[in-house]
Amino acid sequence: MKKNESSLTSLISAFGRAYHSKYDTPKIFDDFIANELITPKEFTEIRDNMIRGIQFFNHEIAKKFQDHPDEILKWITQVQLSPTPLARAAFCEKVLFHEILLGVNQYVILGAGLDTFCFRYPELNDRLEIFEVDYPATQNSKKIRLANANYQIPDNLHFVSMDFTKGFMVRNLVKEGFLPNQKTFFSLLGVSYYLTKEENANLIHQLFTKLPSGSSIVFDYADDKLFEEKGVSNRVQNMVQMASASGEPMKSCFTYDEMEKVLENAGLLIYEHLSPVAINNQFFQNRTDYLSAFETIHYIHAVKK
């Protein structure tokens, strides 16, 4: 990545959240700030690229809506792009607010990208220290975007530059005010698939080695059907192929028992697990649009013993 350049992944994710906030009803997760971090030019370019790429996603939809580009965009966004980012964010923040009630006052967002939690909940500025961990280029770009949207960075938001996929360094967090002896909540969303099984196990172990019991993490992972399941309109297969084509191939998937063992070895217990069926029931029930839970993707909240 170039200096001050956002990762494409974070930009596309923000686009999906912005689209959902602007156009979808009812809301699964309302990121009403995401749109302010994407320039009109970027929004238009992503929109146009998606519409032009419909043949890759679905020939029948391309033909059916060839004269209705907005319906094509809605289909691609709701079927392919948005379901997992929306539902996992909704799940994560629901757990986070419960953890805050239980005394958590440190929140570490791994792979934060263009996350807007801090700015959607300014009332937590005096109660919660937030540490966003990501590549320096992504963070530099985000700071510029926040400034352009007239957002001041509050004292409780700390940017920690790190490639944590190559090894997590607590000292980088400590330099920004992180307290290792305090109960902490982590989010690791949209990351585990791009790490090997060994890298996932090492990362989770490193995160919790020195933290007190009660510290916890929410993350999503792909089950062992990832590379054989096609999904609705081949969307799982499309996801795997797009990741490979972009130079960031998906590397791992787990059975539930394998994931349970990884967590157990790091001293964690699974407190809540949502399968694709459970995710669909919790976040996508009774919708009349295209949104539904992604096949093969699970969510977990795990707590240190």
* pTM confidence score: 0.96
Return the pLDDT at 38: 95
Taking the CA atoms of the chain, what radius of gyration do you get in angstroms?
Answer: 19
pLDDT, tens only, 134-169: 999 999 999 999 999 999 999 999 999 998 888 888
Report whether 252 contacts 192 (CB < 8 A): yes
Return the pLDDT at 154: 97
The average confidence (pLDDT) of the chain is 95
Strands 157-161 and 129-134: parallel
3: confidence class by pLDDT, cuts 50, 70, 90: very low
pLDDT, tens only, 168-200: 889 999 999 999 999 999 999 999 999 999 999
For CATH 3.40.50.150, the residue range(s) in the chain are 84-304
The CATH class of 84-304 is alpha beta
Q: What is the mean pLDDT of residues 256-279?
A: 98
Return the pLDDT at 117: 98
pLDDT, tens only, 227-237: 999 999 999 99
Spatial separation of the C-alpha atoms in residues 262 and 270, rounded to whole Å? 11
2: confidence class by pLDDT, cuts 50, 70, 90: very low
Q: What is the mean pLDDT of residues 285-299?
A: 97
* Joined tokens for residue 148: 């352009």
Q: What is the mean pLDDT of residues 87-111?
A: 97
pLDDT, tens only, 12-60: 999 999 999 999 999 999 999 999 999 999 999 999 999 999 999 999 9
1: confidence class by pLDDT, cuts 50, 70, 90: very low
Return the pLDDT at 6: 54
Residue 4 has pLDDT above 90, yes or no: no
Q: What is the mean pLDDT of residues 251-278?
A: 98
E strand map for the chain: 106-110, 129-134, 157-161, 184-188, 216-222, 268-274, 297-304
pLDDT, tens only, 249-262: 999 999 999 999 99
Return the pLDDT at 211: 96
216: phi then psi, degrees, rounded to nearest 5: -150, 175
Residue among 11, 29, 12 at smallest CA distance from 20: 29
Return the pLDDT at 187: 98
Residue among 191, 189, 242, 190 at smallest CA distance from 218: 189
Report whether 9 contacts 190 (CB < 8 A): yes
Q: What is the mean pLDDT of residues 207-212?
A: 95
